[in-house]
Structure 1
Amino acid sequence: MRRRWMGAILMVVLLSVLSPGCMNSSSGSSEVTLTVFHAGSLSVPFERLEKAFSDRKRDLGYRVTFHDEASGSVKAVRKVTDLGMEADVVAVADYSLIPELMMPNYTDFYVAFATNEIVIAFTNKSRYSSEINSSNWYEILSRKEVSFGFSDPNQDPCGYRSLMVMKLADYHYGRPIFRTLVEENTNVYFNGTTIIVPEEIQVKSDRLVIRPKETDLTPLVESGSLDYYFIYRSVAEQHGLRYVELPEEINLKDLRLANHYGKVKVHLGSTGKTIQAKPIVYGVTVPRNAPHRELAMEFLRYLLSDEGREIFERNHQGFIVPPVAFGNVPDEIKDLVRVEG
C-alpha cells in the first residue's frame, strides 16, 4: 500500500516537472522570454507591438515576455557578431547593417520594413525656439550660446545620418555648414570625398553633446539642458517635441532621391566600413542561433502583418507596404513580403 502511495506521488511530481508550463523550449512551452536587440528609435513601437503579441499568446494559454536591449544599431549588431550574445530578433535603423555585418555567418535573410526622416527637435525652452525654421536652422545652431547634439556615429545610424544631413546641407544651401557645426566642434572631418569618423570622437566644445544612441538625448532636450538635437521624426512626435522639418534634398526621407543622397559617404572608425548615404529604411532579422527561433518567427510574422503595420503607424513610424525581404527568406513570412534577390 505504501509503495503504491509513494509511486503515485512520484508520478505527480514527474508530471508537474514535465508539464508545458514548466518547460523553457521554444516549441511546446507556455512560458518563454524572447530577447530583442533593437534600435533606440524603435523602443516605443516595439513596446506596443510586444504587448499586443503577448496578449494574443496569453489568450491561447501561453505566457510570452520580452527582454529588450535598445541601443545604437551598430552596437546592436556587434553584440551578436563581436560579443557572441544571443538574440531572438535584431531590428536596426539601417537595414544595410545586416547584410554588411551579419550575413552570411550570423543570419541568411533580412526584411526592410519601416522608414523615417531626420528632423531637428526642440522645445519652447530652447534658445531662439520662436525663430528657428527650415531656412535658418543652421544659423541658429551655429550661434555660440546655442547647444545641440546628435548620437555617436560609431554606434548609431542616427549619428552618422546626422553627419550626412549636415554635409548634404552644404550642397543644398551653399554654405559651409558641416565645417561650422561638425569640424569646428569635433575631430570628425571631410577629406574631400568622405566624412571621416575616428574610432574615438573628441568633442572640442561644451555646446555640442554626443551620446551613444539618439534617444539618450531626448531627456536633455525635454529638460531644457540641451537646445536642439538631430533625431528621427517618429521619436520627436512620440515625445511631443517641436521640430524643424528639413528639405527632402537633405532629410534622407525620399526614396526617389537615393542617387542624390549617395554623393555623401561616411567612414566609421568603429567598423572600418564606409557607408553611403541613402533613404532611411529599417531592417529586421532572426539570427541563425536564435534561442527560440520558432517563436521568434511568429513574432516577426506579427510585426510584418497588417496589425503590426497599424501599431507602427499609430506611433508615427512609416511602414513599407509590402515589406521587402532579401536572402534565404523563411517560408513562414513569404506570404507577407515581396522577395527580392
Structure 2
Amino acid sequence: MRRAIVLLLLLGVVLSLGCIGSEATTKSEGGGIKEAKLIIFHAGSLSVPFQQLEKEFAKYAEENFGVKVTFQDEASGSVKAVRKVTDLGRKADIVAVADYTLIPQLMVPNYTDFYVLFATNEIVIAFTDKSKYADEMLKNPDKWYEILARPDVRFGFSDPNQDPCGYRSVMVMKLADLYYKKPIFETLVEKTTNIYANGTHIFAPKEIEVKDRRVVIRPKETDLVALVESGSLDYFFIYKSVAEQHHLKYITLPDEINLRDFSKADFYGQVSITLGSTGKTIKAKPIVYGVTVLKDAPNRDLAIEFLKFLLGETGQRIFRENYQDFINPPVAFGNVPEEIRGLVKVSSE
C-alpha cells in the first residue's frame, strides 16, 4: 500500500513537471504573452502580400488575443505546396494556391473539407530596359511572339509541374495559336523543350527538359525575377501583380489569351494540360486563387483567425496595395467554418 502511494506521488510530480514544461513552450520568458506558430505553404506570387499580412496579423493577435505569433512561411509553386502535404505528409495550418482547383482535385476530402476563392490575376510578359528589343516590345506588343522567337532573345517561364504560372504560361502560348492563327506554341515551346501538344491538349512530362539555351525554366515564377533584373534573361511570363510589385516593365496580352476575363472562359477552355507530376488534367480557365485551413492544422483555431484576417477589410486592403484584385465577397465551398461565413458567399455547387 505504501509503495503504491509513493508511486502515485511520483507520478503526480512527473505529470506536474510535464505540464509546466509544456506551458513554458507557449509563453514568453516574462510569462505573460502566449506564443504560437502558424505554418503556411503558399504560392510564390503571394509572397509580397502574405509577408505584409503576416506582419499585421502578428500585431493584431498580440493586441487582441495576447498571443505572440511566429510564422513558418514557405513559398513555392502551388502544385509543390499541395504535394508537401499530400505526398510528403508535412503538417501545415494554411495552404494558399494560385489555382484554386488544386484544392478540390488533390486535397478534398482527405486533407481539408472546405476552400475559399479570394483573388484573381492575369498573365503578362515582363522585362526591363536591359532586355533586348525592349523599346520595340513596348511599341509593338502584338508582335511579342516574334520578338521572343528571335535567336538572340532569352525568355522564361516556371515549371508547369510545380507551378500554376508555368502551366498557365504554356496554355497562354497555345491559346495564342488559336487567337493569332499562327504556330506560336510549336515555335516557342515544342522546339525548345520536351513539352508538346496534341491539338489543343498539352502534355508536360514529369521531367521537363530544355533543348534550347534561349529558354529558362525555374521551379516558381518569382525565381525568374532576379534573372530578368540582372539582365541574364530578357523576358518572362509572370502574373501582373508580381510585375507591378517588382516595378518591372510589362506588356498586357489580349483578353482572349491572358486568363483574366471571366467572359472568355469558354474560349480559354479549348486548351488543357496534363501534368506529369500529378497525372491530372487541367483545363485553361480564368485565374482564381484559393485558400484553405487543413483538417489536422497544428494551430487550427489561430489559423481560422488568420483566414478571417485575410478575407476581411485588412486583407483586401493589403492585396489592393500590392496590385492584386480581390474577389468581393470571396466565394467558399464545402464545410465552411462558421467563423468565416459572414465574410464569404457560400456556394452550394
What TM-score range do you get, normalising by the shorter chain?
over 0.9
Counterparts of 2:313 and 2:122 in 1: how far apart (Å)? 22
The DSSP-based 3-state class of the residue aligned with 1:334 is helix
Deviation at 1:306, TM superposition (A): 1.2
Aligned to 1:23: 26
Counterparts of 1:289 and 1:59 in 2: how far apart (Å)? 27
| Counterpart selection for 2:36 from 32, 38, 42 | 32
| Counterpart selection for 1:264 from 268, 271, 280 | 271
Two-structure CA RMSD over aligned residues (Å): 1.8
1:297 aligns with 2:297: no
1:75 aligns with 2:80: yes
1:51 aligns with 2:55: yes
Counterparts of 1:244 and 1:275 in 2: how far apart (Å)? 26
Deviation at 1:225, TM superposition (A): 0.4
The DSSP-based 3-state class of the residue aligned with 1:299 is helix
Q: Give the letter for the 2:222 counterpart.
A: T
Aligned to 1:308: 315
The DSSP-based 3-state class of the residue aligned with 2:136 is coil
Contact 1:252 1:279 in 2 (8 A): yes
Counterparts of 1:20 and 1:301 in 2: how far apart (Å)? 27
| Counterpart selection for 2:114 from 102, 109, 114 | 109
Deviation at 1:19, TM superposition (A): 9.1
The DSSP-based 3-state class of the residue aligned with 2:270 is coil
Aligned to 2:231: 224
| Counterpart selection for 1:41 from 42, 45, 56 | 45
1:149 aligns with 2:156: yes
Counterparts of 1:15 and 1:54 in 2: how far apart (Å)? 28
Q: Give the letter for the 1:51 counterpart.
A: K
| Counterpart selection for 1:96 from 90, 93, 101 | 101
Counterparts of 1:19 and 1:106 in 2: how far apart (Å)? 27
The DSSP-based 3-state class of the residue aligned with 2:89 is coil
* Runs (5+) with no aligned partner, structure 1: 1-9
Deviation at 1:234, TM superposition (A): 0.3
The DSSP-based 3-state class of the residue aligned with 1:200 is coil
Q: Give the letter for the 1:64 counterpart.
A: V
Contact 2:256 2:268 in 1 (8 A): yes
Counterparts of 1:130 and 1:147 in 2: how far apart (Å)? 16
Question: Larger deviation: 305-314 or 14-23?
Answer: 14-23
Aligned to 1:5: none
CA deviation vs aligned residue, 1:61-96 (integer Å, no higher than 9, x gap): 320011111000000000000100000000000000
Counterparts of 2:122 and 2:49 in 1: how far apart (Å)? 16
Deviation at 1:193, TM superposition (A): 3.8
CA deviation vs aligned residue, 1:218-268 (integer Å, no higher than 9, x gap): 000000000000000000000000001111110000111111100000011
Q: Give the letter for the 1:319 counterpart.
A: F
Deviation at 1:58, TM superposition (A): 2.0
Aligned to 2:147: 140
Counterparts of 2:56 and 2:322 in 1: how far apart (Å)? 14
Aligned residues: 327
Aligned to 1:245: 252
Q: Give the letter for the 1:46 counterpart.
A: F
Q: Give the letter for the 2:111 counterpart.
A: Y
Counterparts of 2:126 and 2:164 in 1: how far apart (Å)? 17
CA deviation vs aligned residue, 1:41-65 (integer Å, no higher than 9, x gap): 0000000000010011122332001
Q: Give the letter for the 2:35 counterpart.
A: E
Counterparts of 2:200 and 2:52 in 1: how far apart (Å)? 42
CA deviation vs aligned residue, 1:175-209 (integer Å, no higher than 9, x gap): 11000000000111111241011111110001100
Counting aligned pairs with the same residue, the percent is 66
Q: Give the letter for the 1:154 counterpart.
A: N
Contact 1:165 1:251 in 2 (8 A): yes
1:123 aligns with 2:128: yes
Contact 1:21 1:30 in 2 (8 A): no
- Give TM-score scaled by structure 1 length: 0.93
The DSSP-based 3-state class of the residue aligned with 1:267 is strand
1:62 aligns with 2:71: no
Contact 2:127 2:234 in 1 (8 A): yes
Deviation at 1:174, TM superposition (A): 1.4
Counterparts of 2:239 and 2:146 in 1: how far apart (Å)? 21
Deviation at 1:134, TM superposition (A): 2.5
Q: Do the aligned partners of residues 77 and 19 (structure 1) sit closer, same or farther apart at CA in structure 2, a change above 3 Å counting? A: closer
The DSSP-based 3-state class of the residue aligned with 1:113 is strand
The DSSP-based 3-state class of the residue aligned with 2:265 is helix
The DSSP-based 3-state class of the residue aligned with 1:288 is coil
Contact 2:174 2:200 in 1 (8 A): no
Counterparts of 1:19 and 1:81 in 2: how far apart (Å)? 29
Counterparts of 2:217 and 2:347 in 1: how far apart (Å)? 37
CA deviation vs aligned residue, 1:83-136 (integer Å, no higher than 9, x gap): 000000000000000000000000000000000000000000000000014311
* Runs (5+) with no aligned partner, structure 2: 1-12
Counterparts of 2:326 and 2:308 in 1: how far apart (Å)? 15
